[in-house]
Amino acid sequence: MDCKDCQKLVSAAVDNQLNKETFESFEEHVDGCSACRAEYELESITKSAVRTRVKMVPTPGVLLQRIAERLDQETALADDDRKRWWSDLLRWPVLRPTIAFSAAFVAVLLILNRSAGSNVIEQSLENYRAVVNGEMKPEETSGSPEILKRFFTGKTEFQVLVPEMKDCRLLGGLLGEYSGAPVAHVVYMHDTEVIYICQVCWETVLEGEALNLSSKAKDELQRTGWYSETRPDGYTVVLWTKGNTLCSAVAMMSEADLIACLTSANSAESTEW
């Protein structure tokens, strides 16, 4: 089985619709292909999130038709396999009515170039939702920290950190900007949970013009190097600094579990965070 055949079967594999022989061939391929494995695991996460967290709501027929037409247009333009994490998912029929639940994401791709607000925490939360909802797509899909580091090298004035973390799989990353300030997006997966990490220039945040933080978060970061909070909706945000890099991690996990993941870098990368 090659990558093209494997990608056609991702959705059916997640839904347990493949026969034993086909699934064994599919499983053998994804075990040896990091790109296909990443797509398979991401679709598993997203469908799980849709089933457990997204409330189905009625969608007006006209709106649904327009959304479907837009999705078909975008799919036709997606000729780069590395940028097709979610293309099959967006064609999943049961997801289309749920898009009304998050209609605000119609223009989420503009997040990369125009921030809804310059607060790093709020923007990180928006980006996490965009990743889970399939609106933020990678420029580089890889499970190799070295490949991701090379991708970011020379593109930011701060060092982009990409360590290996225990029980976490690196999925990929992309580069964007907030209010003209460069930002690196890195995505991991822990079990069935996405861990999204936004990285920006700490000096830019301290200046407070293009990017900012609340006084409470900024003071705690300057005092200890770390800041964390858990929102009433279950999202946990953990911030920390390393040199001139400010990292902001978001996940639907407890604060203790997320911090445990972030502090579990292996010995070769133990000083990177």
Instruction: Check: pTM over 0.85? Answer yes or no.
Output: no
**pLDDT per residue of the chain (273 residues) written in tens, 0 to 9:** 888 888 888 888 887 788 888 888 888 898 888 888 888 877 777 766 655 555 555 556 566 666 666 666 665 555 455 445 444 444 444 444 444 334 333 333 334 444 334 799 999 999 999 999 888 888 899 899 999 999 999 999 999 999 899 889 999 999 998 878 899 999 999 988 999 999 999 999 999 888 999 999 999 999 999 999 999 989 999 999 999 999 999 999 999 999 999 988 754 444 566
Query: Alpha helices, DSSP H only, in the chain?
Result: 3-14, 20-32, 34-53, 61-77, 87-90, 120-132, 145-152, 202-207, 215-224, 255-262
Q: Judge whether 227 and 235 are in contact, CB under 8 Å.
A: no
The full set of domains in the chain, from first to last, is 3-110 (no CATH), 115-269 (3.30.200.100)
Question: Which residues, 6+ apart, have CB-to-CB distance to 178 below 8 Å?
Answer: 115, 118, 123, 200, 210, 211
- Compute the chain's Rg from CA coordinates: 19
Other C-beta atoms lying within 10 Å of the C-beta of residue 183? 29
Longest pairwise C-alpha distance within the chain: 59
pLDDT tens for 94-126 read 444 444 334 333 333 334 444 334 799 999 999
